């Protein structure tokens, strides 16, 4: 993938990646040329095909966790992370008809940042299979109390949270709804019905509701990082050719840490210290006060 992105102009052999990694354009050309010869294609076509295949796989994975679960991705912003994720984000967003991207300043080390800042948490669950007369407030409270005791052991200062997985009797899947530690069954049934209608477009007032699983988490709050945009003094601007669709266009390149309020329009490439964000024509971006690049697509 790195070879293909280099040959298509999304990366630059003169720019070092995070950690000082240097790119070798000649080696990338040789690697892609070998594959191109096997396929009977030009090297440029092969590089573009590599990127399309990778994008298609990422789109498929996103459809699994959105469309196939009744979630419309168009209602959300796409947050790419990792050093290379933002290079593919705009193409993926266009395929899913997402209009907004949010590329964090710490995109390349987002997982590490999350590990340092995240809450301490212990989760536990119990399958209860309650319905009818057995689905009582007293029985639910007893099950939750036992789970809270288990989850909170050794977690000083932890706050418990409960989630209830319910379904209509006869269904093969459940929907999770948050609730109090001592919920009333009608409250859970109403919350489940509302979530079912939101996800699938209908609710069934006549169907019996079954509580399948209770999940409890004991949570100790973590740190709350407050990133700020850089001053932008070291930001360099230049232009290089990059391929978008079937055309090679002059793309503006912003290299370094942009200040809050920095703007650019596609085609452009943000060469951030730990990630590369590529925006094709039709996208406009602005850096917010936290140093994140917020990009929006003008097409419907």
The tens-digit pLDDT sequence of the chain (300 residues) is 999 999 999 999 888 787 778 888 999 999 999 999 999 999 999 999 999 999 999 999 999 999 988 889 999 999 999 888 999 999 999 999 999 999 998 888 888 888 888 888 999 999 999 999 999 999 999 999 999 999 999 888 899 999 999 999 999 999 999 999 999 999 999 999 999 999 899 999 999 999 999 999 999 988 888 888 887 778 899 999 999 999 999 999 999 989 999 999 999 999 998 899 999 999 999 999 999 999 999 866
Q: Write the Ramachandran bin of 97: left for phi over 0, alpha for psi from -120 to 50, otherwise beta.
A: left
CA distance 263 to 249: 19
Same domain, 100 and 152: no
Same domain, 202 and 236: no
Q: Judge whether 118 lies within some domain.
A: no
Same domain, 279 and 204: no
Same domain, 107 and 249: yes
Same domain, 92 and 235: yes
CA distance 248 to 240: 10
Rounded to two decimals, the pTM is 0.72
Q: Write the Ramachandran bin of 23: left for phi over 0, alpha for psi from -120 to 50, otherwise beta.
A: beta
Same domain, 88 and 18: yes
Same domain, 15 and 106: yes
* Residue of 254, 255, 279, 242 whose CA lies nearest to 8: 242
Same domain, 245 and 181: no
Instruction: Give the strand pairing for 263-265 and 247-255.
Output: unpaired
Range of the structural domain that residue 206 is part of: 131-220
Query: How many structural domains does the chain have?
Result: 2
Q: Judge whether 123 lies within some domain.
A: no
User: What pLDDT score was predicted for residue 300?
Assistant: 60
Domain finish residue from 167, 191, 220: 220
CA distance 98 to 93: 5
Domain finish residue from 190, 220, 250: 220
Cis amide prior to 170 (ω within 30 degrees): no
Domain finish residue from 168, 203, 220: 220
Q: Judge whether 288 lies within some domain.
A: yes
């Amino acid at each position: 993938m790195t070879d293909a992105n280099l040959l298509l102009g999304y990366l630059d052999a003169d720019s070092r990646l995070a950690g000082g990694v240097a790119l070798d354009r000649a080696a990338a050309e040789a690697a892609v040329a070998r594959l191109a010869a096997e396929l009977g294609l030009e090297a440029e076509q092969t590089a573009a095909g590599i990127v399309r295949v990778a994008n298609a796989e990422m789109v498929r994975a996103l459809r699994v966790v959105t469309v196939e679960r009744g979630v419309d991705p168009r209602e959300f912003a796409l947050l790419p992370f990792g050093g290379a994720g933002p290079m593919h984000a705009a193409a993926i967003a266009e395929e899913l008809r997402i209009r907004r991207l949010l590329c964090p300043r710490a995109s390349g080390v987002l997982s590490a940042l999350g590990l340092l800042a995240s809450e301490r948490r212990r989760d536990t669950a119990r399958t209860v299979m309650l319905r009818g007369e057995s689905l009582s407030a007293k029985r639910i409270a007893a099950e939750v109390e036992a789970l809270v005791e288990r989850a909170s052991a050794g977690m000083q200062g932890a706050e418990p949270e409960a989630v209830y997985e319910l379904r209509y009797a006869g269904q093969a899947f459940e929907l999770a709804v948050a609730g109090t530690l001592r919920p009333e069954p009608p409250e859970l049934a109403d919350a489940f019905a509302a979530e079912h209608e939101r996800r699938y477009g209908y609710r069934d007032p006549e169907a019996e509701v079954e509580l399948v699983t209770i999940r409890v988490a004991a949570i100790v709050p973590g740190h709350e990082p407050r990133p700020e945009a850089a001053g932008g003094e070291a930001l360099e601007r230049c232009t290089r050719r990059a391929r978008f669709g079937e055309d090679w266009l002059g793309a503006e390149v912003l290299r370094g840490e942009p200040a809050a309020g920095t703007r650019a329009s596609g085609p452009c490439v943000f060469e951030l210290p730990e990630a590369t964000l590529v925006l094709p024509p039709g996208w406009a971006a602005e850096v917010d006060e936290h140093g994140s690049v917020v990009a929006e697509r003008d097409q419907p």
